[in-house]
Structure 1
């Protein structure tokens, strides 16, 4: 019971082992038994459905303990069998994942190897997470990732006891979910004729290849059910009112200038395209939100973006200005805040809490239950927390995994340099200088996978792991104690799983950037320079906009 990632709270070893035999049974409440069997699928365990004698013969017994918190569990292994006690089905799932890590690495294969022996050491583990929000953000707008990649990511999150998948479903470069009430969103907004191959400054070059795709509402329902069975909550994001080129390509009348034409963007960067804040836009989005919530099934959180909005078109529009003045609002920033609050009210009617990026917080008054993601740094996160908002730590450094892991010409192209595994492992989501009240507002942390430079699943693996392993330990265990020494054994598990992670010694020959369009550029910006710029930008914004304080 060593080399476990994330590290459990309590591990006590004992002499002896327990060996699973073919046809081993799991006994207990049906939902919890199902969770354990999913985690240990390679063992092909059966469910004990008979009487007391059948239960007594079970290799694993699972019990519900209502005194344990959600996701908490305890595992006791003796030579006679395994006993799991958990606070809920998620806790039972995580107990199963811990047992899986205690088995040989081959337990992470899709099928048992010939002659495999499933032996687990005796001992006792008690465990519970530090944070309730332990997540990953996946941008499927810039580069669409097929459903199979999303389902695989859900599986990998569950392996690491991560429980939130934040799906970035809409941006300037593509709209990624079916809408039956507004079908042009996916019919026109889900594809572009080409994609830029210019990653840094210079004359734009394009690949000339169409790119696109979207998930049907049935796909979304499947993803939601699949995720819930693995302890993962999908957090959909429709980023508004900026980042709206794909929406406006389909429905230009929703723009600040209804006569303007728009295209799904084929390049990266911030676009001035912005939705109108008029009631018709809110009504339009409310219908789309209802479809997404209805498809996913259970949506406790819904992200509405609010970031990087260029408000010039609002200020230039006589109709929008008249509307703003009729509401008694002084500035376009005030109208931006009201627009997001209206959408949050719509979501509250569906039982969802709104989530926003931190610009929405500095723009003005949000609903009190809105969750803020401070991507520009933990200082703006502290201001949101002190104003009474729950936050999820998402700072560029060290949780933006589109940054390279080394400033080396061998690396594939990245947005900047450098965020290492050690940087992630050293991150503290609750800085020591925060007050107890501010600290209590931190729900957890998540890493971000923006996909301008992640075109496919192989690159996704390379960017996400093993840095995601470090975030999993920080968010679950609370610190990185033992992480570095446990990582080599864990990478053997990822090898068995088929994860094409970045090796600690550097990229494999076929993972390198090479000399083509995916080469690592000497123009990549150092992440420290980015963070200084974001801190300055945030300070300037705070000095000119109202805050919640």
Structure 2
């Protein structure tokens, strides 16, 4: 396996003389602060790696920078435990793909190389929507493993939406009894109004969520939870009609529901209870409140959302946390310190940074992995604009035209996996990989697609060993198609026109 096959590509890789052998008798030395990384590495390599000198050596050097690392033969030095962990992931990629499997001999040759590496951005995230289609805990943990393998460090977990509520909240049992399942689901894009006639549901217990958090922390992935409010709340209103304008079922169709929270005192108390529970379970400094796509037809005052967002921000501040919201929270003024997920193009990212808000760039026409991958009619449920592997690789988090101070507010980027049309982990694999591999390299900091494409076949061998149902580079296979779930392909000009209209209420106009 060539060192040139590494993804994301390190800052530098140099061959050295000699080589090594990793086997059951290889010793491992590390300070107590790296015991967790060492334990993870033993499991990942399927080797006992007894404590001792003369083999693998894990070290800390705070002068490197928190997520930077050096790999010199069998010595891995990181600026923190996270940096050492990334060095260990690079070590795994230097081994033959067989080393990534759970069966077979655990005895591998390793070429001697010197690697120097550090990421360009601190927020290298991926959002997983488990509201539209529920994903069991084991599949979420596998999703975390694959993200961590690519040195991504944030999992934004979209836990609720009109079509399903996926977490317990103490004192509100009907959220899971009623709000966690729907009678059927749409097949394909909503324009076709076709349904499958099958109930769909599921939710995470508090212990489930704590398991996900702990598992992710071991892999240096921060889990950022999101409960969308005050819109995208039809599932909650189905469970507790007094929170909205009256009884509604859990939504079965895709799209935006007009049935939102009524912003009365009970609704505010409900939202505070939800946020308290998220703060109790998730240690993340930022807590997602959504804030996007909220119709106001059910409200007497259509301009109340900024007031609501401010109240939720105040409550989170009392818990030592900050709001994380979609870029609609800029309309009417986002709370001080709010982190903005800029999804409607480069304009909202620029506006947020100029207003002094930390920004995570996630523009839909560049990093929404539910969007179709080609014009091939065999693509499953083709929706959105065409977003090829090369398009994703070309993503740059920082918009043009910002000052140096404003550029520093762009924390990084995030790819979003919306699951209306992904009803299984297999379908998520197909839509996510290898585009997420390209995204991971884009936010790590390397910038040559041609070089990435030349390394990708070696990386696909790793994905094969990890059992990933990625989209072949040659295009969809016959069984990937979904003729029962037709899509709605869009063009770039049409989508750009929509985004310009959608962002006209941003401060200073906010051009896309």
TM over 0.5: yes
Partner of 1:349: 318
Match of 1:176 in 2: 166
Residue 276 of structure 1, CA deviation? 1.9
Which of these two proteins has the greater Rg computed from alpha carbons? 1
Q: Per-residue deviation at 1:543?
A: 7.4
Which ranges in structure 2 are unaligned for 5 or more consecutive residues?
A: none
How far did residue 394 of structure 1 move?
Answer: 0.6
Deviation at 1:502, TM superposition (A): 0.3
Whether contact under 8 Å (2:164, 2:201) holds in the other structure is: yes
How many matched pairs?
507
Change (3 A) 1:181 1:480: farther
1:531 to partner: Cα distance: 2.6
Deviations along 1:381-414, one digit per CA (max 9) or x if unpaired, are 1011100001101101110111110111111113
Q: Aligned equivalents of 2:45 and 2:290: distance in 1?
A: 42
Measured after TM superposition, the shift of residue 282 of structure 1 is 2.1
Pairwise mapping of residues 169-248 of structure 1 onto structure 2 (< 5 A)? 169-202=159-192, 204-248=193-237
Give the TM-score, by structure 1 length: 0.89
CA contact (8 A) 1:134 1:164 kept: yes
Pair 1:128-2:93 in alignment: no
Q: 1:544 deviation in Å? A: 9.9
Alignment of 1:310-321 (within 5 A): 310-315=295-300
* Aligned: 1:524 with 2:489: yes
Q: Is the 8 A contact 2:190 2:254 kept in 1?
A: no
2:109 aligned with 1:119: yes
Shift of 1:292: 2.3
Q: Choose the corresponding residue for 1:309, options 260, 273, 294.
A: 294
Whether the 8 Å CA contact 1:26–1:33 is kept in 2: the answer is no
Distance in structure 1 (CA, Å) of the matches to 2:400 and 2:258: 39
Structure 1 residue 277, shift from structure 2 partner:
2.1
Q: Which residue of 2 aligns with 1:73?
A: 69
Q: Match of 1:510?
A: 479
Instruction: Say whether 1:501 aligns with 2:473.
Output: no
Partner of 2:344: 376
1:266-316 Cα shifts (integer Å, max 9, x gaps): 0011111111223332221111222222123x122211011111112112x
Structure 1 residue 365 and structure 2 residue 330: aligned?
A: no
Distance 2:7 2:109 in 1: 19
Query: Structure 1: which 5+ residue stretches go unaligned?
Result: 316-320, 322-331
**Separation in 2, partners of 1:159, 1:132:** 16
State the match for 2:277 in structure 1: 291
Q: Is the 8 A contact 2:385 2:495 kept in 1?
A: no
Q: Which runs of 4+ in 1 moved over 6 A?
A: none
Counterpart among 419, 422, 432 of residue 451 in structure 1 = 419
- Paired residue for 1:533? 498
The 8 Å contact of residues 15 and 113 in structure 2, kept in 1 or not, is answered as yes
CA contact (8 A) 2:342 2:363 kept: yes
Which whole-Å CA distance do the structure 2 matches of 1:240 and 1:276 have between them? Answer: 11
TM-score (norm 2): 0.95
SS in 2 for 1:339: helix
Deviations 1:124-172 (A, max 9, x none): 1111111111011111111111111110000001100001111111100
Q: How much does 1:176 deviate?
A: 0.3
Question: Retained in 2: the 8 A contact 1:26–1:37?
Answer: no
* Alpha-carbon distance in structure 2 between the residues aligned to 1:371 and 1:143: 26
Equivalents in 2 of 1:544, 1:397: separation in Å?
22
Query: Structure 1 residue 89 and structure 2 residue 81: aligned?
Result: yes
Give the structure 2 partner of residue 150 of structure 1: 140
Which whole-Å CA distance do the structure 1 matches of 2:84 and 2:38 have between them? 6
Contact conserved, 1:386 with 1:437, CA < 8 A, in 2? no
**Whole-Å Cα distance in 1 between the matches of residues 272 and 75 of structure 2?**
47
Does residue 62 of structure 1 match 2:49? Answer: no
Shift of 1:432: 3.8
Out of 3, 6, 18, the residue aligned to residue 4 of structure 1 is 6
1:106 maps to 2:98: yes
Q: Which residue of 2 aligns with 1:391?
A: 359
Structure 1 residues 170 and 43: alpha-carbon distance in aligned structure 2, compared to 1, 3 A threshold: closer
- Asked if the contact 1:23/1:44 (under 8 Å) is kept, the reply is no
The separation in 2 between residues aligned to 1:39 and 1:156, in whole angstroms, is 15
Q: CA deviation at 1:527?
A: 4.0
Q: Is contact 1:410-1:507 (8 Å) kept?
A: yes
Deviations 1:367-394 (A, max 9, x none): 2211111111011210111000011011
Does the 8 Å contact 1:40/1:97 carry over to 2? no
Contact preservation (8 Å) 1:25, 1:45: no
Once the two structures are TM-superposed, the CA of residue 417 in structure 1 deviates from its matched residue by 3.6
